[in-house]
Structure 1
């Protein structure tokens, strides 16, 4: 694995072209799993782990890496299976999700593959609600399961989903009562997090699991004689999604004469200067790193204020 991620920065150019690269890894057995390289900071042999009292059962310990302390989660345990054995021979995939870094313990790292998002598909309908997958794909005739890391993190280290007291005024939803918010995200956990914030504000929501499904929804809306511009307050979309990523979804909307003026907030666990540049390139209205209920509420405030000409949230929280 030496040097396997040396050129990760060069790979970011794939983002925005409906392409990605997956880092393939194994847990127990022959099943291959995948994670987007863009989320990966480093891969290394598992360092010595120190136990911490009161930790979640999926956290095998903490490691001292690059002068900092990092929690190491057993990926196999996290998806509801048995703990990995012989930890000293395992690898750690260090990732950055939702503004924090974490390490995932895996039994082995395979390789990196270049994929098109159109070849990444939602989990089978028969998978139920208990699975830990956001998508599946096939590499050399072998099934690859793409793990829902946001669901794992929400269970291992739950985030605050409540809007702080004093942030919201009463009656916000009533000012756009005939409209709703379109939420697009492949993670069921992320969709519900955003939905709960919108419900706290008093807004109705429509949920879609990827860019293709969301675009079809908008096109069908127009086919029924409805105007999405009049129906929607805004679109809140993830970037990484099967079938069609958020950048491509945004570009498709901007290129459509009847949809081009829709307000789009890209809301993603991807962060950094590169993503802000991509937001401008594809024409999204704004970008927000996951997940802050207060910041998300302020984004909705700004949008509704622009629509109604009235301030809805006191930015000083008074």
Structure 2
């Protein structure tokens, strides 16, 4: 099953082309779901599990894979569809890496990998139930495929602490950037809220966009207005994976634009750090931030702003 997965070298060829690969799977029913292949390490049959005390209700147990203890999450239960009923002998796990941690998701079965363009990926419709656990939807073979917001799932299992000491913020810098704009681009409400909590104490004017296309259109609108983007916009922090236009393509478009090309663009993603170091260099980002590492975010954002302002 692991042979289904592309190598990192092959995946990097999709970057800057607004393309992605999705791994399709089901949760014991007819509805198909997907996650980005970038985040998948391997797919395998459910191995024996060890129960752990006081575990979260959606964590079935842990298993040992290649020297690591990996929690196994019942993904069907995590998105409020009820416990997966598939027999353990027939169940599959998808081993993933998010935010520098490895975890496995228990699913009913895996279908295949499809190569798509991000403009075929749409924001999810509003509504209740599992819609809150979707980051996007798409249509494949005339069927709706729901793309899981894994960041929300993981945040509910192990909430992130984003409370930072006031001492982490540089007072001299904060005086220089007070009231300046910062554009944050992400399709995850969880990620946006956590960025707001880290950036809010800096006194910046935080502006949101929920995908790369929305951010690009906003930048074009500011240009039409004659806005002084170079002096007012301190930084753009963008997710990698987003409907309609991903963060890599957004960065590519910014670098092509004579009026925007000198903007400070930082990639903020839960994808593998090693992969993103290569991507930062390829598309021309100024830096890379792992998601849900608030202290590292505060330090790196301040370092880049100091560099831009000639303070270091």
Work out whether the TM-score is over 0.5. Answer: yes
**More deviation in 273-282 or 207-216?**
273-282
The residue that corresponds to 1:315 in the other structure is none
Separation (CA, whole Å) in 2 of partners of 1:11 and 1:172: 38
Separation (CA, whole Å) in 2 of partners of 1:38 and 1:268: 11
Separation (CA, whole Å) in 2 of partners of 1:8 and 1:250: 20
The residue that corresponds to 2:283 in the other structure is 282
The residue that corresponds to 2:143 in the other structure is 142
For the aligned residues, what is the CA RMSD? 2.0
Separation (CA, whole Å) in 2 of partners of 1:141 and 1:154: 32
Separation (CA, whole Å) in 1 of partners of 2:163 and 2:172: 17
| TM-score, structure 1 normalization | 0.92
- The answer to whether residue 100 in structure 2 is matched with residue 102 in structure 1 is no
Shift in Å, 1:60? 0.8
Shift in Å, 1:292? 1.4
Separation (CA, whole Å) in 2 of partners of 1:117 and 1:109: 22
Structure 1 stretches lacking a partner, 5+ long: 312-318
**More deviation in 103-112 or 202-211?**
202-211
Shift in Å, 1:129? 9.7
Count how many residue pairs are aligned between Structure 1 and Structure 2: 311
The residue that corresponds to 1:271 in the other structure is 272
Contact 1:25/1:111, CA 8 A, preserved across alignment: yes
Contact 2:39/2:96, CA 8 A, preserved across alignment: yes
The residue that corresponds to 1:41 in the other structure is 41
Which aligned segments of 4 or more residues in structure 1 are displaced greater than 4 angstroms?
Answer: 6-9, 126-130
| TM-score, structure 2 normalization | 0.93
Contact 1:233/1:303, CA 8 A, preserved across alignment: no
**CA displacement 1:48-89 (0-9 Å, x = unmatched):** 111111111111111122232110001011111201122332
Structure 2 stretches lacking a partner, 5+ long: none
Shift in Å, 1:131? 0.9
Mapping 1:225-236, distance limit 5 Å: 225-236=226-237
Alignment partner of 1:174: what SS? Answer: helix
Alignment partner of 1:261: what SS? Answer: coil
Going from structure 1 to structure 2, the CA distance change for 1:152 and 1:2 (only over 3 Å counts) comes to closer
The residue that corresponds to 1:75 in the other structure is 75
Separation (CA, whole Å) in 2 of partners of 1:111 and 1:89: 17
Separation (CA, whole Å) in 1 of partners of 2:53 and 2:201: 35
Shift in Å, 1:126? 4.5
